[in-house]
Structures are given as C-alpha cells and as structure tokens.
Amino acid sequence: MEFQGGLAFHHDMNIVTKAKETFSHNNLQEDPLTSIYVHHSPSVDDGGTLFKNFNKQSANVLSLNRFEKRGSLKKVNVNDYGAKRNGDTDDSEAFKKAWDEVCDSGEAILVVPKDNYLLKPIRFSGPCKPNIEVQISGTLEAADDPSDYDEDSRHWLVFDKIKNLYVYGGGTLDGNGKPCKDAPTALTFDSCEDLTVENLNIENAQQIHVSFQDSENVKVSGLNVNAPEDSPNTDGIHVTKTKNIQISDSVIGTGDDCISIVHGSKNVEATNITCGPGHGISIGSLGAGKSKDVVSGIKVNGAKIFGTKNGVRIKTWQGGSGSASDIKFQNIEMNNVTNPIIINQNYCDKKKRPCQKAGSEKSAVEIKNVVYENISGTSASEVAVKFDCSEKFPCQKIKLQNIDLACEGGDDAEALCNNVDKLSYIGHVKPRCSKE
C-alpha cells in the first residue's frame, strides 16, 4: 500500500444497499476449519461440527457472562469529565480523564452517549485492571488541523496493552478524511489480548480504518466500514502480527483492501463479509524491501464481493522471503470483479526500481497449500483466474474446486497460470488454466 494525498470524503451507502439486494447466501456452504487449523484433532471425524459447536457455546457463555456482569460494572460517562459534546470543542481531555478512571478501577464501562465529540489523537493505554468495556453510542470526529497530529502523525485513536477489552455500542468513528502528511489510522488495537470489537461504524479514515497489530485472541463482528472508492490507502480492516482473530458479519467499502492480512498473522478467519467497492480481500503485500514475511492458517468463508479491483488476492514483492501457506478461500460470490482470483508473486514498483527479469530472483515469498472452493460469479475482465508465480520459486499445491466464473456479459472467461507446481481440480472448474 503506497500513501498518496487524500481528499475530503463523503459517505454513500447506496452501493452497499444495492449489493445486499443483489446477492443471496442461499448457495453458500459451510466447511469445517479442520483443513487448515491443525490444532483441531477430535477423536472422531466429526466434519468440524464439534469445533464449531464449541465455538458457538463458548461465545454464548462469554456473552451471557458479560450481560450478567454489566449491571454491576461501574459506569464512567465522558460527559461527567467535562466533555462539551457539541462536535466543535475539543473533548480529548475529558476522554483521557474518563479512561484513566476506568483503567485504574477496573470492572467499569467507559460510556460515550449519543452526542457528538471532537477528538485529537488519543492513546488509551494499559495495562488496566480487569473487565474493561468501552460503549460508544455517539459520534467521534477526528480533529482536522494537521498540527493536532504533530506528536503522533500515524494514529488517531489507539488502544494498547489491554487484556479482556470489549468495545461496542453502535456509534460512529469519523476519521474526517482530510489531507494529512502521514495519514493516521483511524482506530488501532496494539498488543491487546482477548479482545472483542463489535457493532461500530467507522468511516472516512485518512488511511487505514481499523488495524489489529501484535494482538491475540480477537473477535470482530458487525462493523460497517465506509470510504469513497477513490480514497487512497483506506484499507477497511488491517491485520498484522496478530494470532487467532475472527472477523465476521461486516460490510466494508473503501478505496483499498476491504481486509488486508500481512506479516506475522496466523489463524485468521473472515466469515460473512460484504466487500465493495475497493481492492478486495488481500493477503499481502508481503516481502516489501526484501523483508522476510510469514502468514499461515488464513480462511475466508462466505463473502460477497462486488465492483472491486480484485476478489481474493495474494500479493508478494520480488526479492522478499518467507511464506504464505495453508490458505483457504471458499463460498464466495463475485459480481463484476476485475480480478476475481489472483496470485501475484512478482509484484514490483517500476517507479522506484526496475523489476527483476523472470528467473533472476534470488528469493521469494513462497506460496503453498492454497484452496479455492465454491467460488462463482462474474469478472469485469477476460481473465478471471490469474496465477503469476515465480519461475524459480513456483507456487505449490494450489487446488481449485467447484469454480464457476464468467465474464460480466456472459462470455467465457480465461485462466492464466504461470509457474504453478501441483495444480489440481475437483468438481466443476471453469475457467481452467490453459497452461498447467
């Protein structure tokens, strides 16, 4: 992702509404996690049912425990700490004071009522005493003066080093989408553990909307993320160096990746995602600047992708190293997507340096064990499936199962596959690679 200048953003939900009307889940099928999550090894082959039921039961227990405890939690209202709540006066200090009270006391809820709050960059830091919740019902708007970001130009709101944090409430975080030199991420969770984030609207970020980094055991659901299609580098949900994260039931439309998964991420699952406009769901980029990047155990199960530049993509830089492995994309509907299925293992930026000639690379991010299953819909280009892999370090063990992609006008689409070792087909697969 390369930063470019931004423009004032305007929110438009019409295309999301249209997508909801266009797509249907009737043809989607569920598949167990066992194929990529090797830590699941029940005594009998239950088809993943035991694991899914355990997850549902665990989630229900956690929700019940939270509901039962909420009545006894101390409520700390930002309005009681001097917030003007008019959307014009800086309320940052009131939020900081309220957070200090919540963090120091534990067993507490930071309450943001249905008012409007103007905020400069804030870092809500831990460690805190146990059982912290943040209930955002109102609208938080980012300060628009570039000088407000002098101390931290890359972040607006940050929660860091907190365990057992629950953030929710149905409110809105408005990143203000105006030009800023280094473009802050709207909402960042850094070094958090046992984190739940749900039912929030995040819009018009100056760069990434929501970032999870160096965190573990994360559940994300019910997010609505929106920015104009021409807004640069506005990834919806960004995952880096994070393990065991579940993203579900979210609608994302931006000017960049709906979901981006990069270095150090492991056991990432995205389910029931609506994506568009934007650049699709991406693993990468990986290996930039000859770095060693590793991701594994990635699963996208149930997505509706429309009007995007890419559908499901794996993108690695020339000259990098490491691996992207044990990846599964399944039960996905494409509508007018330019590159529905794409692997680019030879990415380079011609503006910065010449691209390497094929076969001259000394290293590459290896791509292996990738499954595409139950993917259908339309391509905005003639090539619906494109695997552009390294000549010296080819993609390994790529499986296509039950694929049905055609051009938007109904013509047959093409598949181009270069340097794939052990490419396999199961069931109906259209288009198939002409070069195997």
For residue 60, what pLDDT is reported? 52
- Lowest-pLDDT choice from 180-184, 292-296, 364-368, 420-424: 180-184
CA distances, 129 to each of 132, 194, 426 (Å):
8, 14, 52
Q: What is the mean pLDDT of residues 131-145?
A: 96
Give the 3-state secondary structure of residue 281: strand
Percent of the chain predicted with pLDDT > 70: 81
Cβ–Cβ < 8 Å for 363, 345? no
Q: What is the pLDDT of residue 52?
A: 45
Residues whose CB falls within 8 Å of the CB of residue 147, separated by 6 or more in sequence, listed in order: none
For the cut 70, the answer to whether the pLDDT of residue 376 exceeds it is yes
Average pLDDT over residues 4-23: 41
In the numeric block, the tokens 């149905």 are attached to 170
Least confident stretch, 120-134, 269-283, 337-351, 374-388: 337-351
Interval 414-427: pLDDT, tens: 999 999 999 999 99
Domain positions in the chain are 1-30+74-244, 280-436
Using CA atoms, how far apart are residues 152 and 147, in angstroms rounded to an integer? 10
pLDDT of residue 323: 98
Looking at the predicted structure, is the pLDDT value of residue 186 above 90? yes
Q: Is the pLDDT of residue 17 over 70?
A: no
Mean pLDDT within 344-373: 84
pLDDT at 11: 39
Q: What is the pLDDT of residue 98?
A: 99
Q: What pLDDT was estimated at residue 282?
A: 99
| Two tokens, residue 314 | 């794996």
Tokens 């460690």, located at residue: 127
> Residue 169: left if φ>0, alpha if ψ -120 to 50, beta else—which one?
left
pLDDT of residue 53 exceeding 70, the answer is no
pLDDT reading at 58 higher than 90: no
What's the mean pLDDT in 310-323? Answer: 97
**pLDDT number for residue 70:** 66
Higher pLDDT: 88 or 37? It is: 88
pLDDT at position 355: 77
Q: 10 Å Cβ neighbour count for 72? A: 8
Q: What is the pLDDT of residue 146?
A: 87
Q: What pLDDT is stored for residue 63 in this prediction?
A: 52
Superfamily of domain 280-436: Single-stranded right-handed beta-helix, Pectin lyase-like (2.160.20.10)
Cis preceding-peptide flag for 41 (omega within 30 of 0)? no
pTM: 0.85
- The reported pLDDT for the residue numbered 14 is 44
pLDDT digits (tens, 9 = 90+) for 387-413: 999 999 999 999 999 999 999 999 999
Contact between 393 and 364 (Cβ < 8 Å): yes
The pLDDT of residue 353 is 67
* Residue carrying structure tokens 């979901």: 259
Write down how long the chain is. 436
Confidence band, pLDDT 50/70/90 cuts, at residue 357: confident
Calpha distance 10→389 (Å, rounded): 38
**Helix/strand/coil for 317:** strand
Dist. CA 184–CA 207, nearest whole Å: 6
Question: So which residues are the catalytic ones?
Answer: 279
Q: Give pLDDT, residue 69.
A: 61
| pLDDT above 70: residue 78 | yes
Q: For residue 71, what are the contacts with CB-CB under 8 A and spacing of at least 6?
A: none
Lowest average pLDDT, out of 14-28, 131-145, 240-254, 278-292, goes to 14-28
Q: Where are the beta strands (DSSP E) in 91-215?
A: 108-112, 116-119, 122-125, 132-136, 139-142, 155-160, 165-168, 172-174, 185-190, 193-203, 210-213
In angstroms, the CA 153 to CA 183 distance is 7
Residue with tokens 């052990």: 422
Compute φ and ψ for 435, nearest 5 degrees: -120, 115
Question: Average of pLDDT values for 206-222?
Answer: 98
* 82-102 pLDDT, tens digit each: 999 999 999 999 999 999 999
CATH topology agreement for domains 1-30+74-244 and 280-436: yes
pLDDT band at 33; cut points 50, 70, 90: very low
Residues sharing a CB contact under 8 Å with residue 200, sequence separation 6 or more, in sequence order: 136, 167, 168, 169, 170, 171, 172, 173, 222, 223, 224
Average pLDDT over residues 5-26: 40
- Among 104, 221, 94, CA closest to 167: 221
Question: What's the pLDDT score for residue 160?
Answer: 98
Closest CA to 369 of 404, 421, 333: 421
Cα 363 from Cα 287, distance rounded (Å): 10
Cβ 222 vs Cβ 249: under 8 Å: yes
Region 134-145 average pLDDT: 96
Nearest to 406 by CA among 431, 424, 434, 373: 431
Query: Out of 3.40.50.2300, 3.40.50.1820, 2.160.20.10, 1.10.10.10, which CATH number does the structure's domain 1-30+74-244 have?
Result: 2.160.20.10
Whole-number percent of the chain with pLDDT over 90 = 75
Is it the case that residue 48 has pLDDT exceeding 90? Answer: no
Per-residue buried b or exposed e for 313-322, using 16+ beta carbons within 10 Å of the residue's own CB:
bbbbbbbbbb
Question: Which residues are within 8 A (CB) of 240 and not within 5 positions of it... i.e. 6 or more apart?
Answer: 211, 212, 213, 214, 261, 262, 263, 264, 265
**Does residue 246 carry a pLDDT above 60?**
yes
